[in-house]
Amino acid sequence: MTELHTLTIAEARALLDSGEITSEALTESCFERIAAVENQVRAFLDITEELALEQARQADLERQSGGARSALHGIPLAIKDVISTKGVTTTCGSKMLENYVPPFDATAMARLNAAGAVMLGKLNCDEFAMGSSTENSAFFATHNPWDTARVPGGSSGGSAAAVAAMEALGALGSDTGGSVRQPAALCGVTGLKPTYGRVSRYGLVAFGSSLDQIGPLAWTARDCAIILGAIAGHDPLDATSAPEPVPDYLAALDGNLAGLRIGVPREYFVEGMQPGVEATVRAAIAALKDQGAQIVEISLPHTRYALPVYYIIAPAEASANLARFDGVRYGVQSEGDDYWQTLANTRGQNFGPEVRRRIMLGTYALSAGYYDAYYKRAQQVRTLIRRDFQQAFAEVDLIAAPTAPSVAFKIGEHNDDPLAMYLEDVCTLPASIAGVPGLVVPCGFSEHMPVGLQLIGRPFDEATLLRAGDAFQHATDWHKRRPAL
């Protein structure tokens, strides 16, 4: 029989429904896999084996007595460590919160619990979700399962690596400027950034409040549809949560692309993109055409401003959000001679260099005399970027583009060059700035490493995105490739 940890969520659900396997056996298989490969991958910050097996046994009992609560009932998932989990350490990959145990669940976590999902543990990430490689974690770097000398991407690198290494059937990540999509591409898995407001941010430790969004990672678009269906929907605890109805995402997966108009923006094939990445993405777009989609060249003219706009808005919001970490109410405190010295020591010693860099960038952009020149102007250009997408979606149903300009780079390769690291997100930032949804599906390999195709959709039209991703995966087998760990 197939090793259970290699199953997709949809496959595992069918076997659970038929009684051929149990959630306990499925969960044990994941822990056996974690024991076998975790020392190479290093995806987990906290492994909650006792809790997970208890949840799995409970799911089995409920299935026997009353049937499944949901499509996720008894399915083992893992959670990025920026999402609050009651009674389980939530560190955000930072020394600042090394021993913080939340007294509440994030809404997305509460909804997974209500669906009967099993939580395997908490996953490594760049500190406070700031980074593109998961090298900025205060604890250790995560490694790409396809080549452990390379990064998995970031900031949800632990989430992507755990799925790619077959340690979990799916995972939650968060995406502020590409932090679900870029690691999904670099690790050869499927990842979805929902529309801003589609999934509650309550209990997601804030980085950029106007950008952050929780999203799923798994092997297939179908699996991402299952997870999104469980966590999406309005939440009165989050003022930015949209009161939009949640459709049946699985019902939209008809395997059909006929009649879809897909735009290809010329601005996304950027200078410096690796030729192998461009060729692989263009071949994937040709495959969409072969399936009946109409391919249209479009322009998103303000794309070139997305990088500077993001690196003003996101650090400014981070500067405000991270002001709460002062060592007084929660988190670590590094004592000094007086309050101000204690504050300086706490923040100086317990935030890592990338977090300090972004706080300083953001504080500068918000400071007197510079606010209008930087933050206000960035917000004005953000409106132009959003307008580009509105105009494009008047002509096309979806946009197809690269996810990252390169395949996964070597660990340490960009350590002395923050700009090179920031450029890794050049293809994912515009959709985040505009608040529109983006789906990444594996579409091939370059230099023996995975490449991801990024599909971008209209606001709150994740159903069409998932339909296109699922149809692409019916016609290709890239999502079936597994690393030889």
Residues with a catalytic annotation lie at 80, 155, 179
Contact indicator for 375, 313 with CB cutoff of 8 Å: yes
Size of the chain, expressed as the number of residues it contains? 485
Q: Could you please report the per-residue DSSP string of 133-179?
A: SS---SS----BTTBTTB---SSSHHHHHHHHTTS-SEEEEEESSST
Single out the residue of 85, 66, 70 nearest to residue 123, CA to CA.
85
Residue type, 348: G
Place of tokens 């002062």: 326
Contact indicator for 178, 154 with CB cutoff of 8 Å: no
- By CB atoms closer than 10 A (0-12, 13-18, 19+), residue 86 is middle
Beta strand 170-175 with 76-80 is parallel
Q: How far apart, in whole angstroms, are the C-alpha atoms of residue 226 and residue 222? A: 6
Q: Under DSSP, is residue 75 helix (H, G, I), strand (E, B) or coil? A: coil
Single out the residue of 429, 434, 438, 426 nearest to residue 391, CA to CA.
434
Single out the residue of 133, 63, 130 nearest to residue 311, CA to CA.
130
The DSSP secondary-structure symbol of 305 reads: G
Single out the residue of 185, 159, 175, 166 nearest to residue 79, CA to CA.
159
Q: Under DSSP, is residue 121 helix (H, G, I), strand (E, B) or coil? A: strand
Tokens standing for 287?
């495959």
Q: How far apart, in whole angstroms, are the C-alpha atoms of residue 32 and residue 41? A: 14
Single out the residue of 136, 94, 145 nearest to residue 415, CA to CA.
136
Count of alpha carbons within 13 Å of 27, Cβ hemisphere only? 29
The DSSP secondary-structure symbol of 291 reads: T
Single out the residue of 325, 408, 366, 405 nearest to residue 138, CA to CA.
325
Tokens standing for 324?
């709460």
